[in-house]
Structure 1
Amino acid sequence: MNIIPYNYDPNTIESGILHIGVGNFHRAHQQFYINRLLADKDQHGWGICGVCLLPSDQKIVENLRSQHLDYTLTVFGRDGNDEIYKVGSLRELLWGIEQPAAVTKKIAERSIKIVTLTITEGGYNLDKETNKFNLDDEKIKHDIENPSQPTTVFGFIAEGLRKRKENRGGGLTILSCDNLQHNGSTAKKAFLSFMEAQDKELASWVATNVTFPNSMVDRITPATTLEDIKRLDQISGFNDKAPVYCEDFCQWVIEDNFIAGRPALERVGVEFTNDVAAYENMKLSLLNASHILLSYPSFIKGYRKVDEAMQDDTICRYIRDFMDIDITPYVPAPGNTDLDQYKQTLMERFGNRSVSDQVSRLCFDGVSKFPVYIMPNLSKMIDDQKDLSRVAFLIASYRHYLKYKVDEKGLSYEIAEPWLTVDDKKCIASDEPIDFLDLSAFKSIHLKRVEPFVLLYSTFVNRIKDQGITSVLISAVH
């Protein structure tokens, strides 16, 4: 298959964006848009300087540097039409472990107008119960006390902005690209809380010189395994150490609030608006919530690929009923969106065999995802005395997944929950099912006090343990 090359001279591109968190999603989404935009000569100031901050980022940094930061992006279409792009919009790549001073110096440069972020839902360091910034975290304490030796994203950005302020480099925009409702407002709260504790003068400057637009991002992008690398290189004929693949659907909606200017991304399909909230609500309530709904029951049943799980009629019915019955009443359609078509497209996207997302990726960090994707609408459902059975089954499945670590086929597995607290682990270990409802992920609602929910949940816990998840799911959706 032919690779679609980028049609600009990379030597003419200057970095105007600094991005923290150079993972697969960023390289399939933001880089994809910028790569297309750079075909326009008047946009050559919007290349991207990537920044990685974790020790575990060493391999991706080395692999990208070995191929001059270029990589291939394979877009698998639902209709069987696939495309491979060579992406060259990543013009610089800094590793904070190796070059901490270079990172803060780059943030301070006047040419950088926007700092974008993909640091995951849990990366904003907000307490799940109080929604306050956690100043007791040891790494945060270190960065507050040692401004010139940052280790966290908050420390690095604060030190970079401090230098920018001292150098009179002008304001900039911090744009979250994470799957959080009101992600810009969340980022603003987190960064200003950190700066208030570290340097009140800097916090005051940031309040008037830095904007935090909200945004909504969407493109299913699986993790890339060693087997995927071999498969993708075979398709492309390109020896790429860091290939990425994704679905053909792609969406980016951004609040138009950029203090230092922005790229003309509307030319390549990005939608700018004064109110992102309706788009966020639709996407997080339907796509992300449905991903969680699919993840734990499917994994316990033994499925490891999302498209395989979507061949299971019972799982499809469970998800579609959740969308239609539980969630649609709380999702006003934004703009000209046809909500029925949007939901049908979601089902097609989940079943895209070429993308074949990992169920384990959807299971990852549930304790950070439930508060964002499930609890807000569950609260409304409780207030409106709606049927709680599908969400009760989900939470019972989540407990089973965390507690027993053996699927229905007898295969053991490791869970990946980096943000579990000591108290969370006690909730999981308890043999009393109701104790699990004290998990930090559920703290926004006192579920123990919701008698209809407790009754449904407790029944599902016992039935899943005694009968197996397949039997219980079949009875739950019919």
Structure 2
Amino acid sequence: MNMISCHYDANDVRTGILHIGVGNFHRAHQQFYTHLLLNEKDQHAWGICGVCLLPSDEKVVNRLRAQNLQYTLTVCGRNGTNEVHTIHSLRELIWGVEDPDAVVRKIADSSIKVISLTITEGGYNLDKETGEFLLHDEKIQFDLENPASPTTVFGFIAEGLRWRKVKNGGPVTILSCDNLQHNGDTAKRAFTTFIEAQDKDLAAWVKDNVTFPNSMVDRITPATTPEDIKRLNKLNGTQDKVPVYCEDFAQWVIEDRFIAGRPAWERVGVEFTDDVSSFENMKLSLLNASHTLLSYPSFLIGYRKVDQAMEDKDLVQFIRNFMDIDSTPFVPVPENTDLEKYKETLIERFANHSVSDQVSRLCFDGISKFPVYIIPNLDKMIKGLKDLTRPAFLIASYRHYLKYKTDDNGNTFEVAEPWMTSSDELLIDSDNPNDFLKLSAFKGIDLRASEQFVELYIQFVDVIKDHGITPVLKSIIK
């Protein structure tokens, strides 16, 4: 274990970035890169003001405040050697439930040049079929009608930008750091649709004064359980109430479209480009899609840790076949990237015993993940008359996971699907497996229209129910 010290006085750092969503991934990724950059004396204007907007954020807010907003990040090496960083880049922390006006004031502050976001794939409030912003959502309607009392991220940013405009606070960049293809374009569509519906004058100002770069982010960061806190503190000789741990791989590729200036993140390994499409396609189609492919079958077999699942040779072969046969034909390779090496590294990353990610984390919120990670390439596979065995098996496994909530060993579990609708629940409860194919997770594609897919899917549904996951998995390994 190596304890890594910073070389800057945190008290000299000013905030130039406001970040909404101070979760584990943000603290292992964007905060980490910024913390490294602050060692450069000419970059001290880029400290981060964190913003939390949910009632459930109270615990992490209080714990971070109790330790002067500092926390430890343990970077778990694939070679078994860990690095421990004490992160100082979080300079302010505002809890919107406690002080909503402070959030608005900070967005309006001219010193803030970048507003970054990790609000999850489902947090952009978009229709899964059309991609349009859902203006009729109850919370959205409240914020549209009560601009001075925002409750959603859209309401807060609109009100903050309105005051920024009034105060001549200058332009600002909104930078999505969520796992969405074209995440900047997605953020732009969501925020500008909301603002246009609420305030046309502000919408005109935003058009000229706000940019939305696309970005691609990558670093496996498990949830931190109470047992992890004890383990990490014992390992590191610390008493951190909110430690984070992650893998030793990290990547961040960003379109260089910052209207008000930006940190020199390229000095610490961030790649700036004119187009992130090939990077994000590669990552979503291989890493994120493979994580989803692994999640439900391995959980139903009985695995609860990803590295344990990766000791199962059948699962490893299943994932590798998916990468090579199903995904690679649809992945444009970024310049200077060895795709075979990238796939080999993914297998190593999944198997990292030091990280030991939770399978339940991969299973979380499939409703939001399928439309982003699985459906785009599945649509291409269907149109290209490709073999649909693996995606049909995955979706049959997902149905079994949601419907029966029992693994092959008889262990029951609860599912975590925050964006599941009452209509989804009826489709899951139905004894007709074809009804499940109308789930909101699959909007935008009619899986029932593919005879090959339906035949495979129905076959897998029946065999999984009668015999469990393992025999089916073995039957489809090539």
The DSSP-based 3-state class of the residue aligned with 2:35 is: helix
- 1:282 maps to 282
The DSSP-based 3-state class of the residue aligned with 2:308 is: helix
Aligned mates of 1:96, 1:409 — CA distance in 2: 43
Aligned mates of 1:335, 1:228 — CA distance in 2: 38
Aligned mates of 1:289, 1:315 — CA distance in 2: 14
Aligned mates of 1:217, 1:234 — CA distance in 2: 30
Aligned mates of 1:380, 1:54 — CA distance in 2: 38
The DSSP-based 3-state class of the residue aligned with 2:437 is: helix
- 1:226 maps to 226
- 2:100 maps to 100
Mapping for residues 11-410 of structure 1, pairs under 5 Å: 11-410=11-410
The DSSP-based 3-state class of the residue aligned with 2:74 is: strand
Aligned mates of 1:259, 1:86 — CA distance in 2: 31
Give the CA deviation at 1:264: 0.3
Aligned mates of 2:2, 2:435 — CA distance in 1: 56
Aligned mates of 2:131, 2:269 — CA distance in 1: 34
Aligned mates of 1:264, 1:337 — CA distance in 2: 23
Aligned mates of 1:53, 1:149 — CA distance in 2: 13
Aligned mates of 2:17, 2:54 — CA distance in 1: 20
Give the CA deviation at 1:268: 0.2
Letter in 1 for 2:461: V
Letter in 1 for 2:93: L
Aligned mates of 2:241, 2:362 — CA distance in 1: 24
CA contact (8 A) 2:2 2:82 kept: no
Give the CA deviation at 1:289: 0.1
Letter in 2 for 1:55: P
Letter in 1 for 2:199: D
Give the CA deviation at 1:137: 1.2
Give the CA deviation at 1:218: 0.1
CA contact (8 A) 1:5 1:87 kept: no
Aligned mates of 2:404, 2:477 — CA distance in 1: 24
Structure-1-length-normalised TM-score: 0.99
Aligned mates of 1:2, 1:192 — CA distance in 2: 45
The DSSP-based 3-state class of the residue aligned with 2:246 is: strand
CA contact (8 A) 1:174 1:210 kept: yes
Aligned mates of 1:2, 1:30 — CA distance in 2: 21
Letter in 1 for 2:444: S
Give the CA deviation at 1:3: 2.4
Q: Alpha-carbon deviations, 1:403-431, whole Å to 9, x = none?
A: 00011111110000010112111110100
Aligned mates of 2:45, 2:168 — CA distance in 1: 20
Aligned mates of 1:3, 1:315 — CA distance in 2: 35
- 1:9 maps to 9
Aligned mates of 1:443, 1:10 — CA distance in 2: 47
Give the CA deviation at 1:110: 0.4
Give the CA deviation at 1:235: 1.1
Aligned mates of 2:2, 2:295 — CA distance in 1: 35
Aligned mates of 1:119, 1:228 — CA distance in 2: 24
CA contact (8 A) 2:119 2:178 kept: yes
Give the CA deviation at 1:467: 1.0
Aligned mates of 1:467, 1:235 — CA distance in 2: 42
Tell me the C-alpha RMSD between the 2 structures: 0.7
Q: Alpha-carbon deviations, 1:377-436, whole Å to 9, x = none?
A: 011111110000000000000000000001111111000001011211111010000000
Count of aligned positions: 478
Letter in 2 for 1:449: A
Give the CA deviation at 1:2: 4.9
Letter in 2 for 1:79: N
Aligned mates of 1:171, 1:122 — CA distance in 2: 27
| Consecutive unaligned residues in structure 1, runs of 5 or more | none
Give the CA deviation at 1:330: 0.7
Give the CA deviation at 1:38: 0.3
Q: Alpha-carbon deviations, 1:306-334, whole Å to 9, x = none?
A: 00000001100100000000110111210
Aligned mates of 1:389, 1:431 — CA distance in 2: 22
Q: Alpha-carbon deviations, 1:133-156, whole Å to 9, x = none?
A: 111211111100100000000000
Q: Alpha-carbon deviations, 1:42-72, whole Å to 9, x = none?
A: 0000000000000000000000000000000
CA contact (8 A) 2:217 2:251 kept: yes
Aligned mates of 1:458, 1:204 — CA distance in 2: 51
Residue 429 (structure 2) pairs with residue 424 (structure 1): no
| Consecutive unaligned residues in structure 2, runs of 5 or more | none
Letter in 2 for 1:402: L
Letter in 2 for 1:101: D
The DSSP-based 3-state class of the residue aligned with 2:51 is: strand
Aligned mates of 2:171, 2:438 — CA distance in 1: 43
Give the CA deviation at 1:298: 0.5
- Spell out structure 1 runs of 4+ moving beyond 2 A: none
Letter in 2 for 1:381: M
